[in-house]
Chains A and B, each alone.
Chain A
Amino acid sequence: MYPPVDHLIHLLDEPLAHDLPREEVRALLSRGVACAAPIRGTVYGTLLNDANALAALGGDAYAAPYKAPPRAPILYIKPRNTLVGHGARVVVPEDAKGIEVGASLGIVIGRTASRVSAQTAFEYVGGYTIVADLSIPHQSIYRPSVRMRARDGFCVIGPTVVARRHVADPDALDIVVESEGGATFRASTATSIRHVAQLICDVTEFMTLSAGDVLTLGVPHGVPVIGAGKTASIAIGEWPPLRFSTIAEGGEP
C-alpha cells in the first residue's frame, strides 16, 4: 500500500525501516552497518527463467523425468526462516561442499497484483531489490527441493529496496557476483526468458501477489558456489551491493 519513495533500508536492531536518499544509504552502508531484510512479504523464487539455464538443460528437458520444457513459470517459496539482510552470516551445512549464490533481481510488489496484464505490470511494482537466493547445489529439479533451498538464512535480501522510479529498465541490468578467492561472475537480466512484466502477468494469472511480496526474476546460469568462511557480494546495476558471509556449521557465529 505504501511503496518506497527512495531507498528502503532496515537497520538491524532498529524497529522500523527508513526510506532514504541514495547518498544517505551509501553513508550508512560505508560504516559497515548490518541490516534486516527490507521486505515483509512472501518471497517467491522463479526456476529456469534464464535462457542459458534452460539451454544448459538441453535435451534433458525432453527426457524423463522432465519430459518437456517448462510451460508456465515454475516457482518456489523462500519461507520466513530463510530471510536475512545485508551483512548476514549464513551457515554452510556440514554435509554440503558449499552454497550456490543465486544472485537474482527481486521484484518487490507495490500493490495487490491479480490478473495483471504485461502492459500494466510495472504499475504494480513498488521497487527492486537484490536477492541472494542460496541453495545447496542439487542436480535434480524434479521434486521441490525444500531441504536444499529453505535452510535458515538461505535468502539474503537488500540492502535496500530501490524505488521503481530509480530503475529505468529492469530488463537490462548487470548482475555481478564477487566471492572471496573466486572469479568474478557476470550476468544480465536481459537473458531472462520471461522479462519482468511478462513474469508478473503469467504468475498473477493464477495467484495474487500482495504489497511487500517479492518475486525473483530467477537465478542466472552458472552462479558461483562458495564454501564456509567466505564473503560474497552481489551488485545489480549501480545499486548499493548486497554482502554476506558464510560460516561452517558448529563454528563461531
Chain B
Amino acid sequence: MRRGRVAYAGAIHEAYPHERGVRLADGRICREDEVVWLSPIEPGTLFALGLNYAEHAKELQFSKQDEPLVFLKGPGSVIGHRGMTRRPSDVTFMHYECELAVVIGRTAKAVKRDEAMQYVAGYMIANDYAIRDYLENYYRPNLRVKNRDGGTVLGPWFVDADDIADVTQLELRTYVNGVLHQCGNTRDLVSDIPSLIEYLSGFMTLAPGDLILTGTPEGVVNVNVGDEVVCEIDGLGRLVNTIASDAHFNRA
C-alpha cells in the first residue's frame, strides 16, 4: 500500500494514490497540486550513508572505507514532495542525491543480517541535498552541508515493504529539468540494507520510524535556481523538488 501525508483545507490527512490525484482518508479526492505534500512520516532518528555506491565513491575520489560512513540528520531539514529547497547565492556546487530510504518498523537491537529485513516497515524516496562549498573536514559531511532547512526531501509515498518484490534490484533515476543525470541500481550498494541494520543495531537500538537513507549512486551535478529536480525509484514513485533563490526566502 502507498500512503502519503498532505495538508488540505485546514487539516493534515493521510492520502492514497487516485487516478485524478489523491484520495484523502475521509474520501475526498484532490488534484496533486491542490494539496501540500508533507513527509509521509515524521522520522525518528534519521541516518544517512555517504559513499555507499562504489561508482559514486570513485566519482568523489574515495577509496573503500573500513566501516559504513554514517551520519545523522535532524528533523528540521525534512520537507515533502513538491517542496522548495533554497540554493544560497554564494555557492558553486549544490547537488541532489537520490536515495532509497528504509523505514524501520520494529525495535531493533543486535539484529543479525539474516533477520534484518523483518525489521523493515517500508520504503520512501529521499533526495538528500548537499552543498559542497560548505564541506569542512570535521565530522565530514558536516551539518552545514547536509542538515540545512529543506535539504532532506521525502516522499511522495511511504510504500509497505511487502509491496516491493526485490529491494536489491531497484533502479534510481534523477532528472533535472527533464534531463536524466543520475541512474543507478540498489544492487550496487556497498553496504546493503541487512548489513546496515546489523551494523547500526550492533551498537544502538533502532526504533519504529527511524529512517536509513542508503546513499546515492554516481551522477550528481550542480543545480541552479528554478531547476526542477525529480527523483524516481522503481516501485516507489516520483519525488519532485524545485530549487529556490535567496530572494524567495527573503534573504538579500
Residues of A within 8 A of B (CB): 42, 44, 47-48, 65-68, 70-77, 79-82, 93, 114-115, 141-147, 150-152, 206-210
Contact = CB atoms under 8 A, between A and B. Distances in A.
Contact of A209 (B65, B72, B76, B148): B76
A143 B140 contact: yes
B207 A144 contact: no
A67 B140 CA distance: 12
Contacts of B206: 81
A75 B69 CA distance: 16
A72 B141 CA distance: 13
A42 B76 contact: yes
A38 to B, nearest CB: 19
Contacts of A151: 203-204
Contacts of B69: 143-144
Contacts of A75: 139, 142-144, 147
A142 B143 CA distance: 13
B45 interface: yes
Contacts, number: 104
A142 B140 contact: yes
Contacts of B149: 114, 206-208
B75 interface: yes
A115 B72 CA distance: 22
A142 B72 contact: no
Contacts of A80: 44-45, 207
B112 interface: no
Contacts of B75: 42
B77 to A, nearest CB: 7
5 contacts: A42-B74, A70-B138, A74-B139, A147-B67, A207-B149
A144 B137 contact: no
A206 B204 contact: no
Contact of B138 (A74, A114, A146, A150): A74
A74 B205 CA distance: 25
Contacts of B74: 42, 44, 77, 207
Interface of B: 44-45, 47, 65, 67, 69-77, 134, 136-144, 147-149, 203-207, 251
A142 B137 contact: yes
Contacts of A114: 149
Given A76-B143, A210-B76, A144 B136 contact: no
A66 B137 contact: yes
Chain B facing A: main interface SS: loop
Contacts of B203: 93, 147, 150-151
Given A93-B203, A145-B139, 9 more contacts: A44-B143, A67-B137, A75-B143, A77-B73, A77-B143, A80-B207, A144-B71, A146-B70, A147-B70
Contacts of A152: 204-205
Contact of A74 (B45, B142, B148): B142
Given A144-B70, A207-B143, A72 B136 contact: yes
Nearest to B45: A79
A76 B145 CA distance: 12
B210 to A, nearest CB: 8
A74 B47 CA distance: 17
Contacts of A65: 137
Query: Among A65, A114, A208, A209, which residue has the most Cβ atoms of chain B within 10 A?
Result: A208
Nearest to A150: B204
A58 B71 CA distance: 26
Nearest to B74: A42
B147 A150 contact: no
B148 to A, nearest CB: 5
A71 B45 contact: no
Contacts of B134: 72, 206
A157 to B, nearest CB: 16
Contacts of A70: 136, 138
A68 B73 contact: no
A146 B72 CA distance: 8
